[in-house]
Each structure stands twice: as structure tokens, then as C-alpha cells.
Amino acid sequence: MNELIQTMDRLFPQMVAWRRHLHQHPELSFHEVETAGFIAKEIQQMDIEVRTGVGGYGVLGLLKGGRPGPTVALRADIDALPIQDEKTCEYASKRNGVMHACGHDAHTATLLGVAKACSAHREELNGNLVFLFQPAEEVSPGGAVSMIADGALDGVDAVYGVHLWTPFPVGTAASRPGPMMAAADEFVIDVKGKGGHGGLPHETIDSIVIASHLVVNLQTIVSRTTDPTDACVISVGSFHGGSSFNVIAEKTRITGTVRTFDQKLRSDIKSRIEHIVSHTCAMFGAQYEIDYKWGYPPVVNHAAEAERFFKVGAQVLGKDAIFECPLIMAGEDFSYYLQNRTGCFMFVGAGNQEKNANFSHHHPKFDIDEDAMLNAAHLLIGMALDYMNDTDKC
Ligand code: MN
């Protein structure tokens, strides 16, 4: 273990170089052609079995350990975002309008480093490691579903993943048992009334007035019909209707997002929205259409694996560095792995004002403290080895 960690530490400059190369050459979700090629080439050089084209541009590396034992999968996402990089540093994106603004470049570099360090010590491993380089985390339906459908978890016993996280300071790491990140669903509601003259409302069905009632009525789902101790959000993010001051709008469209942590509440809210829309529209004699798009399910950590995080995290980063994070309303398709296998998702602090790593994720000036990659690598290795060496797994 100690020698493996020393090997890992010596690879840090290479991890930085990998990360900066990827940062300069970002690719959007479902278009990670070069990124996948880059990963496959590096993994091959480590003498690790490679599978490319896994559920799209996914890359899977299989490292067989020298001794028998379980198989642990470690996952990194590899896609970038449609954002113009506004940083001025030497490794800023070279591609107009595309940027690694969520740190997936660093996730990829970290996992490459972990793979290389572990490959140098394969004889000592009590089991196997699977490295999952997953495309398209940022855009639903995401790359996790298709990778799993393509066999990414075949033979895997447990799965771990990290997200570098600038809201938490570098040097720290956090997770929690049970729900951690939200399900993120989307709705589009079209209210169809009857257009007409602004001075003759009695001859029309005013879609703007009806949609306004909808916005207000939707607020009552969280405030009046949901258990106040259950975290959830319904936000209407856009409202479009009409084109002239003296014309009553025939059609108004509202769109919004629903965030929940519980599958039952999640489907209850969908029904509740349909109920409110149908009855409100009926009240005014309007027609409607609802397009409800299921996003990623909530990220739910397995209790025993979160427990392992608190133990291993304290060992590799120090007791004071580890904390239980609050619920996070953002979504992540790591949820699908946890629906299929035992495991845990973890945040690794990457924020540092002195290194301009103090912008939120998806911000045009987003950057990380690269030291966080080494912490993430230590944590991933620690979790994998602890699982492999654990004789009484829960
Ligand atoms: Mn992300």
C-alpha cells in the first residue's frame, strides 16, 4: 500500500500534464472522440486490457490483480460543456465555446494516474480493478446508462467515483450515507387557449392568465402537499406567451425543473403537477400538453460504503479533512451505477482562492486546485484496496 502510494505521488506531474492537455482540448457530451482515443492509448501503454466504444465513446480498462479477490470499478466522467473559457492561463481551452467547466478533465487525469500506479503494483492486488471512463455525464440520458447496458459492470462487485468540488476547500473530502445528490427532472407545459382582441377578453381564452395561475398553483406542491422534512424543489425557469400588447395570447409555454431525493416523492410530484395542470386548465376551458422528462435518479450511497469512506478518508487525508456533506440539489448519473452495485460517490475539495479555484462549477472562469487530483487518487485507491482486503463485507 505504501509503495503504491509512493508510485502514485511520483505520477503527479504526469497527471497535471494529462489534465492540462484535456483541458485545452475539451469535447462536448456524446462527441468525446479524441478524448476517448487519448485515454485508450494511455491505458494500453500501461499494459491494461482495454475496451473502447463501450456504450458510445466509453473506455473500459481491466487490470487483473496477482491474487484472487473481488472486482472494484472506479469511474471518471470525460465530457466538457458548451461554455466559452474565460481564463487567461496557458492551459485554457483551445476550442471556441467548449470548456471543461466541471472538472471532468481532472477526473479523467486522476483515474489515469490511479490506473498507472496500480498497474505497476498489480501483483500485490487481492482482486481486479475496472477503470470506467464515461462519456456524456452532462446531458441526459447520460453515458452511464449505455455503458452499463454494454456490460461495464459485468463481474464488478463494488463501484466508487469522485467529483472534485470547488465549493469545498482543497484538502477536504465529503460524502454521506443514503441520498446525496438530487434527481433532476424537467417539465414543459403548453397551455392552449383561444387568442383574440385584447379589448374583447370575453371572446377569448387567455393562456397567459391561465399559465400565471399554474405558476402559483405549482408552488403549493412543495409548500402544502409535501412533507416539510423531505427536501425538494420545483422551479419554473421560463414563461413565454404572447407577442403584442393588445392581443390575447393563444398559447403560453412554461418550463421548469423538479429536484427530489426520493423515488416515491419523485413520481408523486409528477402526478401532482399533472393534476394541477389538468384541473386549472379545465377551470378556464383551455387545452394543455405536458412533456415530463425524467432526468437522472438521485445519487444514493450505500450505508456500509459511506462508512468505508469515513474510515478510509480519515486514513488517507486525515480525520479533520473528512466531513458529512449536506444534500446537494445538482444531479449526477453516477446514480445508475449505485442502482446496480454497492458503492459510494464522494466529493473531493478542489477550491483554493490563491489559485483562482474559487468559481462555481459551470462558470466560465472555473478552475480547480490541481493538488486535489492527488487527494482524489489516494481516496480512490484507499477505497478500492479497503474493499478488496475487507474479509467481512456487508
Ligand atoms: Mn460534473
CA angle 46–61–314, rounded 5-degree value: 90
Q: Among 246, 269, 296, give the residue marking a domain's end.
A: 296
What mean pLDDT do residues 102-119 have?
98
Indicate whether 394 pLDDT > 60: no
Q: How confident is the model at residue 2 (pLDDT cuts 50, 70, 90)?
A: confident
Q: State residue 64's pLDDT score.
A: 98
Indicate whether 365 pLDDT > 70: yes
What mean pLDDT do residues 21-39 have?
98
Q: Which of 137, 138, 157, 262 is catalytic?
A: 137
Cβ atoms 354, 206 nearer than 8 A: no
What mean pLDDT do residues 20-34 have?
98
Residues 13 and 141 in one domain: yes
pTM for the structure as a whole: 0.92
Residues 17 and 90 in one domain: yes
Residue 191 C-alpha from the chain's centroid: 32
Q: How confident is the model at residue 187 (pLDDT cuts 50, 70, 90)?
A: very high
Q: Which of 42, 77, 79, 367 is catalytic?
A: 79
Q: How confident is the model at residue 392 (pLDDT cuts 50, 70, 90)?
A: low
DSSP 194: B
Cell of 258: 423538479
Alpha-carbon dihedral 331, 328, 305, 3, rounded to 10 degrees: 90
CA–CA distance, 355 with 214 (Å, rounded to integer) = 46
Residues 36 and 133 in one domain: yes
Q: Among 279, 296, 313, give the residue marking a domain's end.
A: 296
Domain that holds residue 242: 183-296
Residue 81 CA to ligand 1 centre (angstroms): 10
What mean pLDDT do residues 41-65 have?
98
- State yes or no: cis peptide before 177, omega within 30 of 0: no
Cβ atoms 192, 204 nearer than 8 A: no
Q: How many domains does the chain have?
A: 2
Question: Which helix (H) or strand (E) segment is 321 a member of?
Answer: none
Annotate 77-142 with DSSP letters as a single string: E--BBS------STTS-SSTT-B--SSHHHHHHHHHHHHHHHHTTGGG-EEEEEEEEE--SSSTT-
Q: What CATH number should be reported for the domain holding residue 13?
A: 3.40.630.10
Residue 137 CA to ligand 1 centre (angstroms): 7
Q: How confident is the model at residue 165 (pLDDT cuts 50, 70, 90)?
A: very high
Indicate whether 300 pLDDT > 80: yes
Cβ atoms 72, 158 nearer than 8 A: yes
Residues 13 and 118 in one domain: yes
Residue 163 CA to ligand 1 centre (angstroms): 7
> Is 9 an annotated catalytic residue?
no
Residue environment code for 316-345, b if the CB has 16+ CB neighbours within 10 A, otherwise e? bbeeebbbebeebbebbbbbbbbeebbbbb
What mean pLDDT do residues 123-129 have?
97
When the pLDDT of each residue in the chain is averaged and rounded to a whole number, the result is 97
What mean pLDDT do residues 163-167 have?
97
Annotate 132-171 with DSSP letters as a single string: EEE--SSSTT-HHHHHHHTTTTTT--EEEEEEEEEEEETT
Task: For ligand 1, an ion, list residues with CB under 5 A.
Answer: 102
Residue 103 CA to ligand 1 centre (angstroms): 7
Indicate whether 274 pLDDT > 90: yes
Residue 76 CA to ligand 1 centre (angstroms): 10
Residue 196 CA to ligand 1 centre (angstroms): 46
Residues 19 and 112 in one domain: yes
Residues 81 and 197 in one domain: no
3 state SS of 367: coil
Residue 282 buriedness (CB in 10 A; 0-12 / 13-18 / 19+): exposed
Count of beta carbons in the 10 Å neighbourhood of residue 370: 22
Q: How confident is the model at residue 204 (pLDDT cuts 50, 70, 90)?
A: very high
3 state SS of 47: coil
Cell of 222: 412543495
Q: Among 262, 296, 330, give the residue marking a domain's end.
A: 296
> Is 42 an annotated catalytic residue?
no
